Chain A
Amino acid sequence: MSATTDSRPLSVPRPERATPADRPERAAASTPRLPATVGRPLLAVFRREFASYFATPLAATFLVIFLFLTGAFTFQLGGLYERGQADLRPFFGYLPWLYLFLVPAIAMRLWAEERRIGTVELLVTLPVRLSDLVLGKFLAAWAFACVALALTFPLWMTVSYLGDPDHGVILASYLGAALMAGSFLAVGSCLSALSKNQVVAFVVCVVVCLGLLLSGFPLVLGFLSGWAPEFVVDSVAGLSLLTHFEALQRGVVDLRDVLYFLAVMAGALFLNVLVLDWKKAD
């Protein structure tokens, strides 16, 4: 701090009346100035964001297209009936590729829109931590994606009616799908903070998510294996979202797979806070 603050009341040794000036936030926040607001700003941001999907045609458009495409992929391309097996593998097999385009469409507006219309200036000057803003908006988008995913329940009902599917496998696959949507959204939210332009945010997000999906595939590994050391190739292969998603699709909820998705989300959101702080005023 500059020298000027040294002459402020704080630096007087043991002041008679302790002013809250410049004391650590924690101590001063405990004074009954306002009711306890822990978590409240986050909740308010979450509610506003979640409601905003349904206040605009975004929710309706997204849900209709998502459900139509899941149906088309599962029945037409996946051949759910023709396979003669009571499971949802065709559905979950195509889901990552559907998510690749649809989830960035939700994520692209998260921060790009706030920056474009200038409301980011209001949000950042509120007495709220940046991390609460980022988390509140991310959780709202994730909740919306989970609503869309949950609305595919008729598929589950269909296979239950037609046969006797392994419900544990389907449940684990749904968990994996929700975690994958969350990972894409976290990455997209971070990239959305980088640009005011939603289209740029969308395209970059699709490319990065594609990279995350494919990092275990011959396309990426073949490119690396020619020159990179083996441990690099192995760790890149381990980064693949698809590998972990497929592990969950087998019906085994391995903590490592779940932690992998949570780590991707946490990392992307941490970067999101940094990017927002850096780019908010551009």
Chain B
Amino acid sequence: MTAIGAPRTSSSSTHQRVRAAVVVPREFTNRPVFNRSAPMDTILDARGLRKRFGPILAVDGIDLTVAPGEVVGFLGPNGAGKSTTMKLVTGFLEPDAGSVSICGHDLRRAPLLAKRQLGYLPEGAPGYPDMTVREFLRFLADVRGLSGGALRERMDTVVEAVHLESVMHQSIETLSKGFRRRVGIAQALLHDPRLLILDEPTDGLDPNQKHEVRELVRSLAADKAVVLSTHILE
């Protein structure tokens, strides 16, 4: 696992540390972040998440509730468990304990419904090297059941939002790190999900592009929730 660094054996200290890692960079939002009471319209509700890799306790007892309009930032050093938490919340990893629900759909009992509401940028923004940006986005739209006018409209919107016009016909392997990241953000936004999970969305971007991504996140509709992570304090 990439996100796991120094082994942790003391569960109580991990609990504290990972909690402390969940903070909001001030530039993203001025809305309150933690909403422990879990109101009815919660978009993401994770409870008691715990994950262990062999001797390493990566995530221990995380509760996280995100309401519409909120942006939550995971801030912490490499190995704090940011990516692992995101992988648990997106259903890529199964937690050893705890539960996740997205828009009221339990990730274990109704995974397809929960995942429909989810847009996810995995760490490193993976993509198929031999596909062009257009083919890649079309493929993911296809899997998600977008077609016709809705597909064209969403494609135009996201391509414009992350400025991909100039590389649409380039294959992903020829893209710079920054463009690759933006393709990853575009695919996460494509189906207009209510929950966006972005693992290091600004990594590899230049300062202007970082600023644009922040503006993009800020401009998302009030009925969406965003969880993002960064290991750089800036």
Tell me the A residues contacting B by CB distance below 8 Å: 1-2, 4-5, 8-9, 19-25, 28-29, 33-35, 37, 40-41, 44-45, 47-48, 51-52, 55-56, 117-119, 121-122, 124-129, 280-281
- Assess whether B139 is interfacial by the CB under 8 Å rule: yes
List chain B residues, Cβ under 8 A from A51. 135
Q: From A21, A22, A29, A44, give the contact of B143 (CB < 8 A).
A: A44
| Pair A125/B145 contact, Cβ less than 8 Å | no
Chain B, residues 100-124, CB within 8 Å of chain A (1/0): the string is 0100111001111101101010111
**Extra contacts besides A8-B104, A44-B142, A52-B131 (12): CB < 8 Å:** A2-B47, A22-B110, A24-B110, A25-B112, A28-B113, A29-B112, A52-B128, A118-B126, A125-B115, A125-B120, A127-B112, A280-B92
Interface size on B, residues (CB 8 A): 42
| Pair A119/B104 contact, Cβ less than 8 Å | no
Q: From A1, A41, A117, give the contact of B129 (CB < 8 A).
A: A117
| Pair B90/A125 contact, Cβ less than 8 Å | yes
Residues 131 to 145 of chain B near chain A (Cβ within 8 Å): 131, 135, 139-140, 142-145
| Pair A45/B98 contact, Cβ less than 8 Å | no
List chain A residues, Cβ under 8 A from B144. 41, 126-127
List chain B residues, Cβ under 8 A from A28. 105, 110, 113
Q: Assuming the A-B contacts A5-B106, A33-B116, are A117 and B99 also in contact, with contact meaning beta carbons closer than 8 angstroms in the complex? A: no
Tell me the B residues contacting A by CB distance below 8 Å: 1, 40, 47-48, 87, 90-93, 98-99, 101, 104-106, 109-113, 115-116, 118, 120, 122-124, 126-131, 135, 139-140, 142-145, 147, 187
The minimal Cβ–Cβ distance linking A269 to chain B, given in whole angstroms, is 19
Q: From A52, A122, A127, give the contact of B187 (CB < 8 A).
A: A122
| Pair B122/A122 contact, Cβ less than 8 Å | yes
List chain A residues, Cβ under 8 A from B101. 5, 21-22
List chain A residues, Cβ under 8 A from B113. 20, 25, 28-29, 127
Which residue of A is nearest B38, CB measured? A4
Which residue of A is nearest B113, CB measured? A28
The minimal Cβ–Cβ distance linking A38 to chain B, given in whole angstroms, is 10
The minimal Cβ–Cβ distance linking B148 to chain A, given in whole angstroms, is 9
Which residue of B is nearest A37, CB measured? B145
List chain A residues, Cβ under 8 A from B112. 25, 29, 127-129
List chain B residues, Cβ under 8 A from A41. 143-145
List chain B residues, Cβ under 8 A from A40. 142-143, 145
Which residue of A is nearest B114, CB measured? A127
The minimal Cβ–Cβ distance linking A1 to chain B, given in whole angstroms, is 6
| Pair A281/B99 contact, Cβ less than 8 Å | no
Q: From A23, A34, A117, A281, give the contact of B87 (CB < 8 A).
A: A281
Which residue of A is nearest B141, CB measured? A44
Measured between alpha carbons, how far is A33 from B143 in the docked complex, in Å? 15
The minimal Cβ–Cβ distance linking B107 to chain A, given in whole angstroms, is 10
Which residue of A is nearest B118, CB measured? A125
The minimal Cβ–Cβ distance linking A53 to chain B, given in whole angstroms, is 10
| Pair B92/A281 contact, Cβ less than 8 Å | yes
| Pair A121/B126 contact, Cβ less than 8 Å | yes
| Pair B145/A35 contact, Cβ less than 8 Å | yes
The minimal Cβ–Cβ distance linking A12 to chain B, given in whole angstroms, is 11
List chain B residues, Cβ under 8 A from A21. 101, 104-106
List chain A residues, Cβ under 8 A from B105. 20-22, 28
Which residue of A is nearest B127, CB measured? A119
Return 15 A-B CB contacts under 8 Å, by A number: A2-B99, A4-B47, A5-B101, A8-B104, A19-B104, A21-B101, A22-B104, A22-B109, A40-B145, A47-B142, A117-B128, A125-B122, A127-B113, A281-B92, A281-B93
